[in-house]
Amino acid sequence: EVQLVESGGGLVQPGGSLRLSCAASGFTFDNSAMSWVRQAPGMGLEWVSTITDSGGSTYYADSVKGRFTISRDSSKNTLYLQMNSLRAEDTAVYYCAKLLNYWGQGTLVTVSS
Amino acid sequence: DIQMTQSPSSLSASVGDRVTITCRASQGISNYLAWFQQKPGKAPKSLIFAASSLQSGVSSKFSGSGSGTDFTLTISSLQPDDFATYYCLYYKSYPFTFGQGTRLEIK
Residues above pLDDT 70, as percent of chain A: 100
Residue A28 pLDDT: 95
The reply to whether residue B91 touches residue A100, judged by beta carbons under 8 angstroms, is yes
Separation in Å, CA of B42 to nearest CA in chain A: 7
Residue A35 pLDDT: 98
The pLDDT confidence band at residue A32, using thresholds 50, 70 and 90, is very high
Average pLDDT value over all residues in chain B: 97
Dump pLDDT digits (tens) for B66-103: 999 999 999 999 999 999 999 999 999 999 999 999 99
Dump pLDDT digits (tens) for A56-90: 999 999 999 999 999 999 999 999 999 999 999 99
Give one DSSP letter per residue of chain A, joined into a string.
--EEEEE--EEE-TT--EEEEEEEESS-GGG--EEEEEE-TT--EEEEEEE-TTS--EEE-TTTTTTEEEEEETTTTEEEEEE-S--GGG-EEEEEEETTTEE---EEEEE--
Residue B58 pLDDT: 97
Residues above pLDDT 90, as percent of chain A: 100
Residue A27 touches partner B, C-beta closer than 8 Å: no
Residue B32 pLDDT: 98
Eight-state DSSP code of residue B56: T
Residue A1 pLDDT: 94
Residue A65 pLDDT: 98
Residue A33 pLDDT: 97
Interface of A with B in 56-75 (CB under 8 A): 59-62
Residue B89 touches partner A, C-beta closer than 8 Å: yes
A-B C-beta contacts closer than 8 Å? 50
CB nearest A105 (choices: B43, B94, B98): B43
The pLDDT confidence band at residue B18, using thresholds 50, 70 and 90, is very high
CB nearest B34 (choices: A37, A100, A106): A100
Residue A50 touches partner B, C-beta closer than 8 Å: yes
Torsion angle of C-alpha atoms A18, A46, A94, A67, degrees rounded to 10: -10
Separation in Å, CA of A13 to nearest CA in chain B: 25
A108 to chain B: closest CA residue:
B41
Residue B92 touches partner A, C-beta closer than 8 Å: no
CB nearest A100 (choices: B49, B87, B98): B49
Residue B101 pLDDT: 98
Residue A96 pLDDT: 98
Contacting residues for A56 by C-beta, under 8 A, at least 6 apart: none
User: Taking residues B7-29, what's their average pLDDT?
Assistant: 97
